[in-house]
Amino acid sequence: MAALPSSIHVHLPLPMYKDEPISFNKPKLQYRAIVNKLDLARKVVDEIPQPKAYAWNQLIQTHLSNNNPHNALSVYHGMMLRGIRPDHHTLPRVLTASRLCSNLALGKQVHAHAFKFGFSSDLYVITALIELYGRLHAVETAKWVLDNAPTSNSVARTILAKLYLVDNKPHLAIEIFNQMLRLKADIDPVALVTAAGTCSLLKSLQQARKVHQIARECGLEFHLLVSNSLMKMYIDCDSLEEARSLFDAMPSRDLISWTEMIQGHVKNGGYNEALKLFRLMTKARIKPDSLTVTSILPACARVPAHKQGKELHAYLFRNGIDMNLTVQNAFMDMYVKSGFIELASNVFTSMVERDIISWTIMISGYSLNGQGAQGLGLFLEMEQDSSLEIDEFTYAAVLHACVTACRVDVGMSYFDRIKAPTVTHCVLMVSLLARAGLFNDARTFIKEHQIENRVEVLRVLLDGCRIHQQVTMGKRIVEQLCELEPLNAENYVLLSNWYAENAKWDMVDKLKTTIKDMGLKPKRAYSWIEFRNKVHVFGTGDVSHPRSEMIHWKLQHLMKKMEEEEGGDRPSSIFSFHDVDEERECILIGHCEILAISFGLISTQERATVRVTKNLRVCGSCHDFTKAISKIVEREIIIKDPNCFHHFKNGHCSCGGLW
């Protein structure tokens, strides 16, 4: 091996024998309590008149296996003092111990020992040096060691590729792998796993397929470690189909295989398929761990899938699976996002240990479900725990609670405590001021923080205009949105609905033509409800459902009853600043959320809660109509839209009219 670069120059000569005292420049070693057996073994070795290196090597290895690298170095120090010559097994272990102790200076001295004892060409020593310098100095230094080594193998090159990955240089890592192929080096499972990890970072599907082909040619495609890595590689490269194809072809699968595939489907929105896989996994008698559980829970955090979430929770209890803090937080998050705030609260109350994530989820959960006051109360309780450090997400959650509770004074106080407010915090403050009708304050705040042209800011300001019927200001905001997002069809729909509300039909027709000429496609409104493990989807004016006749009969009956109770008044059609064009042109009882609610009423038992999800915001007319329905049928109705959960009960909504 050639001389080292000056940046890592080591000082030769070093002593080799007992009568030549060694100078290690030894750092303060943090000795741990040594297990009695190891202590005894050290004494036995010390008492042997002329012990071989083998005995010392075993002692060093035992300390390494027991996560005691400092003690391993101590043994090596004693070995040198006794004048015992190390062999080619000794130095790689001591280099590993130096790396684990983050002691580069000592590692350099051991490197010098490799030269003095004639082991500088040993492959085990070379690989240990590559990892030492790569971890503690620089990857370039590790590459220098490899390039100047008289010999190398695929293990050394794989270690260098891994170091490039750690250093976030995947393009250099894949070049090492391609170099191995050109040199016709042996490709082992670890090399393939490293190459797959590189493709994941590069997001290169072409390179990923090449690595998969190499695995096939080497006969390692179905080596479990390789298969799992290839599967994750395809998922990271956004090719779920190829990942699933490999998964289905695998002759054997472990927990990692199932978890990776479940995560892939959840990541791509395939919630039902993820749930199916989880059931198949449990049928195969593979016990999920905390990672599997936290992977599947997002699939259960939808209103139609809430039963699966409850079943999963019960499954963990029945099978005695440990529910650590991460799992408990995930369950709480799942219950919050599926509208079961009471169950989320039960999990939170039962937790022995809570971190900042636990509190943030619960505060956010209360505000999403229209209980902002409870969220604020919980934040005050959390502040009493001095060990918790409030982060930007917690402040966002408490500001959201202020919006829900319409507490401007409290919101301003919390905002002033944030050291570096993000756009999210500013948007929430604008929302709070606009919903409270403080438009002058909102405009001042927007100007002070220079967020005039942020789309998300304008949208929450528009919400305030809708709530307080600020028609003129709302129109200006919609026009500004059209300028900022000229290719967003929803902006033109908002403007069209404003013109329709003000009977300017020529402008409505003109905007329809504009949308068509620009090739834009406004979103269509859909609502869905789960019944007997089947999801029933309804569109606006939908008459395709097998029970459509009964659904409409029920709605006509409810409309008639409401007129009788309220003296002939029907819900008003309020569509100004609504983002769905088709609903304006459809009678109220044809709106998709109303159809879904009617189906829920005729399909479920009396007093049962009806849970509906809508892909777009609930319109004002449907909001008022649903309040009336909840009073007539004496049932709780929950509608989840992109903004929040609306809990309708006894003629009232949890949003307090600020939807």
- Reading the block at residue 16, the tokens are 């080799």
Give the dihedral sign, CA 243/247/250/253: positive
Residue type, 539: G
Q: Is the pLDDT of residue 567 over 80?
A: no
Q: Is the pLDDT of residue 563 over 60?
A: yes
Domain spanning 253-352: CATH 1.25.40: yes
Q: Is the pLDDT of residue 191 over 90?
A: yes
Q: Which band of pLDDT confidence, cut at 50, 70 and 90, is reported for residue 583?
A: low
Helix/strand/coil for 404: helix
Q: Is the pLDDT of residue 164 over 80?
A: yes
Q: Is the pLDDT of residue 41 over 70?
A: no
Q: Is the pLDDT of residue 36 over 50?
A: no
Task: Write out pLDDT tens, residues 349-361.
Answer: 999 999 999 999 9
**φ and ψ of 633, to 5 deg:** -90, -5
Give the dihedral sign, CA 391/387/342/273: positive
pLDDT winner (highest mean) among 253-257, 274-278, 492-496: 253-257
Which positions ≥6 away from 151 have C-beta within 8 Å?
121, 123, 126
Average pLDDT over residues 168-195: 93
Which positions ≥6 away from 554 have C-beta within 8 Å?
598, 601, 602
Which positions ≥6 away from 291 have C-beta within 8 Å?
259
Taking the C-alpha atoms of residue 612 and residue 639, their distance in angstroms, rounded to an integer, is 5
- Output the pLDDT for position 321: 79
Taking the C-alpha atoms of residue 430 and residue 452, their distance in angstroms, rounded to an integer, is 11
In this predicted model, which residue has the larger pLDDT, 288 or 577? 288
Q: Is the pLDDT of residue 238 over 90?
A: yes
Q: Is the pLDDT of residue 496 over 80?
A: yes
Helix/strand/coil for 90: helix
Q: Which band of pLDDT confidence, cut at 50, 70 and 90, is reported for residue 9?
A: very low
Residue with tokens 């106080």: 413
- Output the pLDDT for position 248: 96
Q: Is the pLDDT of residue 286 over 50?
A: yes
In this predicted model, which residue has the larger pLDDT, 33 or 439? 439
Taking the C-alpha atoms of residue 218 and residue 189, their distance in angstroms, rounded to an integer, is 9
Q: Over the chain, what is the mean pLDDT? A: 86
pTM given for the model: 0.76
Residues 401-440 as b/e (b if ≥16 CB within 10 A, e otherwise) read: bbbbbbbbebbbebbeebeebeeebbbbbbbbbbbbbbbe
Average pLDDT over residues 245-274: 93
Residues of the chain with CATH 1.25.40: 253-352
User: How many other CB atoms are there within 10 angstroms of residue 446's CB atom?
Assistant: 21
Which whole-number Å values give the CA distances from 613 to 282, 572, 594, in the listed order?
Answer: 29, 23, 11
Helix/strand/coil for 322: coil
**φ and ψ of 527, to 5 deg:** -130, 150
Which DSSP helix (H) or strand (E) runs through 645?
strand 645-649
- Output the pLDDT for position 394: 97
| 304 within 8 A of 313, measured Cβ to Cβ | no
Task: Write out pLDDT tens, residues 497-539.
Answer: 888 877 788 888 888 888 888 998 888 889 999 888 788 999 9
Looking only at the bridges linking them, the beta strands covering 610-614 and 637-640 are: parallel
Average pLDDT over residues 13-39: 39
- Output the pLDDT for position 79: 84
- Reading the block at residue 435, the tokens are 């919903």
High-pLDDT (> 90) share of the chain, %: 56
> If we measure between CA atoms, which residue out of 598, 481, 579 comes closest to residue 525?
579
Taking the C-alpha atoms of residue 186 and residue 154, their distance in angstroms, rounded to an integer, is 6
- Output the pLDDT for position 11: 38
Task: Write out pLDDT tens, residues 48-86.
Answer: 555 678 888 888 888 898 888 998 898 888 888 888 889
In this predicted model, which residue has the larger pLDDT, 431 or 149? 431
Average pLDDT over residues 85-96: 91
Residue with tokens 């998050």: 333
- Output the pLDDT for position 27: 38
Residues 330-347 as b/e (b if ≥16 CB within 10 A, e otherwise) read: bbbbbbbbbbbbebbbeb
Q: Is the pLDDT of residue 254 over 90?
A: yes
Residue 310 buriedness (CB in 10 A; 0-12 / 13-18 / 19+): middle
Q: Is the pLDDT of residue 179 over 80?
A: yes
- Output the pLDDT for position 100: 93
Q: Is the pLDDT of residue 596 over 80?
A: yes
